[in-house]
Chains A and B, each alone.
Chain A
Amino acid sequence: LAKTTQPISMDSYEGQEVNITCSHNNIATNDYITWYQQFPSQGPRFIIQGYKTKVTNEVASLFIPADRKSSTLSLPRVSLSDTAVYYCLVGGWGSSASKIIFGSGTRLSIRP
């Protein structure tokens, strides 16, 4: 079971870059790392997914070191609308769906 550990909460200010790190020491060879964002009273929204090195899309970047035991979600120049809960998950082909665990996530608060 690939459990993840991430900070319970983080605070930052508008315009700053925010990095949220997730630990997944027991990640399996075929596991991908996926991040979701959730606003209150809404379902989670897929942000980014990666296997190794760096992945970038229009919303965020995901940095994965060579040992893949951790990953960092980077949000450039955050705004108030980035205030949300962010979840890190690991799982991949052959993973049981029941073992894709959201955990409690990281509650990110952005201040003006």
Chain B
Amino acid sequence: DTGVSQDPRHKITKRGQNVTFRCDPISEHNRLYWYRQTLGQGPEFLTYFQNEAQLEKSRLLSDRFSAERPKGSFSTLEIQRTEQGDSAMYLCASSLDVWGRPYEQYFGPGTRLTVT
């Protein structure tokens, strides 16, 4: 078990550029979540996959954001036409649907995005 990994760990981009982040969950986990976290706040839910199906999206997830999880393995989060307000830590988490253990999520180290 190598844990949840995210790439890149840091990304600096200019306003208006597109960025893509990757998350590799724990291999046997069927659920994958994306969160955004700003300084001093807890993680905010963005979207969630059960296997390859995207089951929920937050209203925070504007049409500039898109997430995929092809084949139910790794996931990507793309932000188009970045804005300064997109600067945040983007966290990925995975979990396994186990009776009695709802929402025991394992988080990756995050990708810190800075939009200049």
A-B contact pairs, 10 of them (CB 8 A): A34-B104, A41-B112, A43-B108, A85-B42, A91-B102, A92-B102, A96-B56, A97-B45, A98-B58, A100-B103
From A43, A89, A95, contact of B110 by CB (8 A): A43
Chain A residue numbers with a CB within 8 Å of B107 are: 42-45
Q: A104–B104 contact, CB under 8 A?
A: no
How far is B55's CA from A102's CA once the two chains are assembled, in angstroms? Answer: 20
| B93 is an interface residue with CB less than 8 A from chain A | yes
CA distance A34 to B107 in the complex (A): 14
What total count of A-B pairs have CB within 8 Å?
65
CB-CB contacts below 8 Å: B24-68 with A: 33, 35, 40-45, 48, 55-58
Interface, chain A (partner B; CB < 8 A)? 32, 34, 41-46, 49, 85, 87, 89, 91-93, 95-98, 100-105
Q: B56 contacts which chain A residues (CB < 8 A)?
A: 96-98
Are A43's CB and B93's CB within 8 A?
A: yes
